Amino acid sequence: MGSGKRSLTTAAIALVCAVTVLSAPGTAFASASAPKPTPAPSSGTAASGGAADGGSTGDGSAKDSADGGSTDGSSAGAPPTTADDAETDARLEAVREKLDKLYHEAAVATDAYNAAEEKAESQSARIAELNRQIEAAKAKLSELQDRAGAAARAQYRGGTLPPEMQLWLSEDPQEFLEGAQLVRQGQQATVGLIDELKQTKSELGKLSRDASARYKKLEANRKTKAAAKKRVKKRIASAEKLQGELEEKEKERLAKLEEEAAQQAQTAWLDSGVLKDLDTKASAAGRKAVTYATDQIGKPYVWGAEGPDSYDCSGLTSQAWLAAGHAIPRTSQEQWKQLPHVALGDMRPGDLIIYFDDASHVAMYLGDGKIVHAPRPGRTVTITGAGTMPILGVVRPDA
């Protein structure tokens, strides 16, 4: 074969190989139907920083948040080429861990703020109801006092002679006896009136004490809420300051390190076989909740927010299920405490995955190993891998 023909053949083979490599599918979100058949763990093993970064770039793209790819053609996980690069990566990894810690503490404080706010609202509503009951009791007490006064005055006017003398002087004894019967009925009514008066006074006192106790609880919840708000702002400010001290190239590299950590955690989670034989059929309510949650993709995370323009993690999940016709607790910790638990291997779209040992983050499962969630300040509602954070467990609002 001539040299010209051999060159053309070699080029053709190289082109075919290149096309084959470029067309191979990504593995960040491996198919749920073909994971490696290893036992499923009781809780997800993932890189730290789930609530802090969610493994997402915040643009609502499942692919971008999972593949860890670089726009310049280099791999996010590519090893540093010089000692300086290695030192920079080590320093940025320390920064990433510190950011994760700060945002996790902010998430915990946000949960405390939301819980205190929910309790304060409940206490305020109860106090308003108690005040209505107190006013009604006061009006009833005033009416009873007027009736008791009238009965006392009537008894005073009719009690000048003893009953025996009135009978002896009466021209019609039968009429007197009938009148005496009415008098006895009146006396019994007076006794009943007095009893009712005492009971109303007792109820009024109880209502007043209850209202006073709830005012104290309301004030305590307001202080708790204010303290939590202060902690949230402090942690977020520290995180923003830490990020602001980085140069632009360092920020880009930090983002790649975050993507790499999320990708590794998701791949390990999928490789564990946790999704093997998983039934991904959602309930009717679950489908509605998923639709609501995914419709919010791209909206910013704002701590304490529950829509419609911004959300925190539990604000998104609670509003999604409210739209599906199921009112659930406001915070991720209460969602974990109060909602029915289901096994990780039995979860279906619409179920809520609770993250971290302190249940400080929550996301909604979509199927195929993906979740939708509001990650943290500075990010938006997005889709990412369910295994990018340490999983505490799964709850089902419509169990």
Does the annotation count 341 as an active-site position?
no
Q: Which of 17, 104, 313, 326 is catalytic?
A: 313
Residue type, 213: A
User: Do residues 332 and 314 make contact, with C-beta atoms less than 8 angstroms apart?
Assistant: yes
Residue partners of 381: CB distance under 8 A and separation at least 6:
60, 293, 296, 297, 298, 299, 300, 301, 311, 316, 372, 373, 374
Q: Which pair of structure tokens corresponds to residue 52?
A: 């802090």
Does the annotation count 373 as an active-site position?
yes
Does the annotation count 17 as an active-site position?
no
CA–CA dist 194, 191 (Å, integer): 5
Q: Which of 17, 326, 341, 373 is catalytic?
A: 373
User: Do residues 26 and 245 make contact, with C-beta atoms less than 8 angstroms apart?
Assistant: no
Question: Looking up tokens 């019609």, which residue turns up?
Answer: 172
Question: Looking up tokens 């709850």, which residue turns up?
Answer: 395
CA–CA dist 381, 58 (Å, integer): 7
The sign of the CA dihedral 359, 362, 368, 369 is negative
Q: Cβ of 249: how many Cβ atoms within 10 Å? A: 9
CA atoms within 13 A of residue 87's CA, in its CB half-sphere: 3
- Cα dist from 147 to 140, 141, 151, 158, 159, whole Å: 11, 10, 6, 17, 18
Beta bridge partner(s), residue 367: 370
User: Do residues 362 and 312 make contact, with C-beta atoms less than 8 angstroms apart?
Assistant: no
Beta bridge partner(s), residue 352: 364, 395
Question: Looking up tokens 């950011």, which residue turns up?
Answer: 99
User: What strands, in cross-sheet order, belong to the sheet with 352-355?
Assistant: 341-342, 391-395, 352-355, 361-367, 370-373, 382-385
CA–CA dist 250, 188 (Å, integer): 90
DSSP 319: H
CA–CA dist 273, 296 (Å, integer): 30
Give me the helix-helix angle, 83-157 and 173-244, nearest 10°. Answer: 170
Q: Which residues are catalytic?
A: 313, 361, 373
